[in-house]
């Protein structure tokens, strides 16, 4: 057994050394020419840039009455306009305010928008979205991890005009729906 493992390791090492010399030589100009161009799809995220105020309602499986929600957010471009960064403050009575940070970009390989976020309730998550021009609607789904375990979320967002959005979102833990949210956002700047 030891002899077989040694032979395999030696063969892999030789193959690695042989392949290491196979990388073609390039000039700086050739390398620059291979740099990706900023995808035009990123421009769709311009709709989210700016300062926003949000209001809504959350219905939770464990509560009898819905809760009012509110918040503010500001999103702007960073990284030579390759990704949108958003910071938000969100309140769900009677739990007080929470802060969040998210990023959005476009994945040319999957042809989807990708997001990441963290918040002051101890949650982290990743998501993806698609834009449907025929209905002017964004469809999104995400997975998050936090103090209550793993959640999956999905929802939609639609701009009723350039400065107003409507959205609905549901959160599940396993097969159980634990929360449903809906609301509006208004651009204030």
Q: Rounded to 5 degrees, what angle do the CA atoms 121, 146, 49 make? A: 60
Length of the chain in terms of residues written: 189
Element holding 4 (H helix, E strand): helix 2-20
Q: Decide which of 101 and 28 is more confident.
A: 101
pLDDT digits (tens, 9 = 90+) for 119-159: 998 999 999 999 999 999 999 999 999 888 999 999 999 99
86-121 in b/e form (b: 16+ CB < 10 A) is: bebebbbeeeeebebebbbbbeeeeebbebebbbee
Residues 6+ apart with CB under 8 A from 52: 72, 73, 74, 75, 185, 186, 187, 188
Cα separation, 166 vs 137, whole angstroms: 10
Q: What is the pLDDT of residue 74?
A: 98
Q: What is the pLDDT of residue 66?
A: 93
Cα separation, 21 vs 5, whole angstroms: 25
Please check the confidence at residue 18 and state whether its pLDDT lies above 60. no
Q: What integer is the mean pLDDT of 63-72?
A: 94
Q: Predicted confidence band at 116 (pLDDT cuts at 50, 70, 90)? A: very high
Name all domains of the chain by residue range, CATH numbers in brackets. 2-33 (no CATH), 40-187 (2.40.128.20)
Q: What is the pLDDT of residue 34?
A: 86
Please check the confidence at residue 63 and state whether its pLDDT lies above 70. yes
- Kindly report whether the peptide bond that precedes residue 94 is cis, defined as omega within 30 degrees of 0: yes
Q: Decide which of 72 and 10 is more confident.
A: 72
Beta bridge partners of 183: 56, 167
Q: Decide which of 89 and 8 is more confident.
A: 89
Q: What integer is the mean pLDDT of 31-38?
A: 88
Please check the confidence at residue 16 and state whether its pLDDT lies above 70. no
């Amino acid at each position: 057994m030891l002899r077989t493992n040694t032979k395999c390791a030696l063969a892999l090492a030789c193959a690695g050394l042989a392949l290491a010399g196979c990388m073609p030589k390039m000039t700086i100009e050739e390398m620059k020419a291979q740099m990706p161009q900023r995808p035009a799809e990123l421009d769709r995220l311009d709709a989210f840039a700016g300062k926003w105020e949000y209001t809504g309602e959350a219905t939770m499986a464990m509560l009898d009455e819905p809760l009012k929600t509110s918040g503010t957010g500001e999103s702007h471009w960073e990284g030579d306009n390759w990704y949108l960064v958003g910071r938000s403050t969100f309140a769900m009575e009677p739990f007080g305010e929470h802060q969040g940070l998210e990023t959005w970009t476009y994945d040319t390989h999957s042809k989807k928008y990708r997001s990441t976020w963290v918040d002051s309730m101890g949650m982290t998550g990743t998501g993806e979205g698609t834009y449907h021009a025929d209905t002017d609607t964004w469809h999104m789904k995400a997975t998050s991890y936090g103090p209550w375990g793993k959640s999956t979320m999905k929802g939609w967002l639609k701009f009723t005009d350039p400065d107003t959005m409507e959205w609905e979102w549901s959160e599940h833990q396993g097969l159980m729906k634990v929360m449903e949210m809906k609301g509006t956002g208004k651009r204030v700047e």
